[in-house]
Structure 1
Amino acid sequence: MSDRDMKKEARGFSEEVVSEDGVVVVKWLDNRTVCLVSNCVGKGLEDQAKRWDKTNSQYVQISRPEVVKKYNHSMGGVDLLDQLISLYRILIRSKKWTLRVTMHMIDFALVNSWLEYKKDCQPCNVPKKKIMDLLDFRMTIAESLIKMGQKVPSDKRGRPSSSFSATSPASPHPVKRKVETRPLVEVQFDRVDHMPQFDDKKEATRCKVAECKGRSHVFCEKCRVHLCINKNRNCFLTFHRSSK
């Protein structure tokens, strides 16, 4: 019904429409018309809700669909979800509603996954310092999806990277020392395109295998960490082979 026709009915009136695939749209008249969409419940078992009547200056009982009752019961979680999504929302300037809905569903899944991750950390006795916040969680998933199972691009455009070069152009500003970052576990053990390369440094860099104290000029092209590989030990193989 249109809003104009529904406002002619008594307060608490509602109607629903169900699609062939089970999606229910409920329209309910409170102070104004309210529309709710669900794939779980519609009008269902209606109950009574207490509302203030401005005309008679008293509280009255009106009918309330079950979907409204369930929404009111869980609206704290909905508000929390909306708040967390707004912190790091995927920005897209497209006018196509399909793309905007798709990006919103990705944000929706990421936030819910993070909440489940935090919940699962409690029974596993994970220290609070090691529990990722929402930003780190999103960045970890993004990096895993980008690098896991992917090959290193062979043809690089632009100027060559100076990450592993001993010489750098003179600069009036002090250059911060670049620190090697450890790859994600999903990338480290995916066994795809982990190729050894030699750097141009004058001094060797410490091997990143925990038990090794050696130094090496060899680094993994994909993980970007230095590892020993010689006649006596092969830390390159050890680093990329899971112990499980």
Structure 2
Amino acid sequence: MEEALTGSTSVVKWKDNKVVAVASNKVYNKQMGGVDIFDQRVSAYRIRIRSRIWWWPIFAWSTNAQVVYSWMLYCKLGNIIPFLDFIWHFLIATMKKYGAPRTSLGPKRLSAGIAKDSVWYNGEQHWTKKGDQRHSKCRECSRRTKYICNMCSVQLHPECMEPYHKIPQ
């Protein structure tokens, strides 16, 4: 390996499969240009959502670029905060202004379909009826079914009704 230093420039040369030479400007490395800092900031916390839509990478990059430019302007105004903190405050403010409140607490199927013991083993007549959902898993055999128990609202096949409602010994 050979190294040559002249003023603010250094050149390093070594032999791998072929001869490789790298030149570097120390002044440049010490004070990176604005474009390099911008590219570094954009790639540091970029949006990582995959999509088959052709314009998504352009939209994601431009959104990141706007956040970086906003942070740089904010810092020039004398408000020096870390970039990640700026992103967090920016997102919170954006969600408060433009975010929509949640309309539901989640999918219906997550909360429905678990019978309480008082209903499950109450000795009343349980029978099947066609459910709202097209196909869901039977609680007893885990195969797909379109039937539910009329009292428990649990997805069950007609042949799985008795074993499911049988009191465990």
* TM-score past 0.5 threshold: no
Higher helix share: 2
Instruction: Name the TM tier (shorter chain).
Output: 0.3 to 0.5
| Structure with the larger RCO, 1 or 2 (CA within 8 Å, 6+ apart) | 2
Please give the TM-score of this superposition, normalised by the length of structure 1: 0.28
Please give the TM-score of this superposition, normalised by the length of structure 2: 0.39
